[in-house]
Structure 1
């Protein structure tokens, strides 16, 4: 049995570092060609590539809202993938409406480093409409 951390443990570490804004630590745990995939319909949508991509997409996402907060519920995983289940609560700069979305963020690891992160919103159209 390997003592190497599993993807769920690695992803939990990355999210803890991101929450503490330890972007250097996050970048060290991502491959150089790491890619974040956000829904194309969002103002911060598309593919964000590079070991600093999570920092850049987080800045763009948080900058879209008057306020935004993340509540992580659970991180589960297997040998290659881990999934974060969270609630993202946002307040629209445009309408002032506060609303929440369930979001699943699926991360794939390669040689102990995060290779890709695919963001799945419960209703990306609602997020886009409020942005």
Structure 2
């Protein structure tokens, strides 16, 4: 059975590509791009250094650069997947990261709503419990 369009598998492939991209200093975006729909949208809260809506592969790559400028390392741990229909999935996970500017290690819970289309990510909407500790670790002004 081909599970390449299963939202859980799509997301796991994206997480692996994202971790590799950050670990190599953003050398090659093509592996991440292969997991993204050409019309993808990433939403981020205004209180974070990589705030805003990032559209398409170019926008997503610019978001990854801003994200990579913020975090020296990042891993998504213990993801719990909650599929919701054929093209949606909610993911509750723990993010473990080290900030580039401060060297601070930080862990935070994250809930994401992911929409997929044709085996690729179309939209990512993260929901953070509290962005202040994240912004503080990243040395980003919170007021």
TM range (shorter): 0.7 to 0.9
The alignment yields a C-alpha RMSD, in angstroms, of: 2.4
Residue 86 of structure 1: aligned partner: 94
Q: Which of 48, 59, 65 is matched with 2:65 structurally?
A: 59
Instruction: Structure 1 unaligned segments of length 5 or more: list them.
Output: none
Counterpart residue number, 2:124: 117
Normalising by structure 1, what TM-score?
0.78
Partner Cα distance (1:17, 1:75) in 2: 19
Aligned to 2:14: 14
Runs of 5+ unmatched residues, structure 2: 22-27
Query: 1:39 corresponds to which residue?
Result: 45
- SS of the residue corresponding to residue 14 of structure 1 reads helix
String of CA shifts for 1:26-72, please: whole Å, max 9, x gaps.
2133222211001111121111111244433232123124x332132
Moved beyond 4 Å, runs of 4+ = none
| 8 A Cα contact 1:88 1:102, kept in partner | no
What is the match of residue 74 of structure 2? 69
Number of aligned residue pairs: give it.
128
TM-score w.r.t. the length of structure 2 is 0.72
Q: Residue 129 of structure 1 aligns with which residue?
A: 136
Aligned counterparts of 1:102 and 1:49: Cα–Cα separation in 2: 25
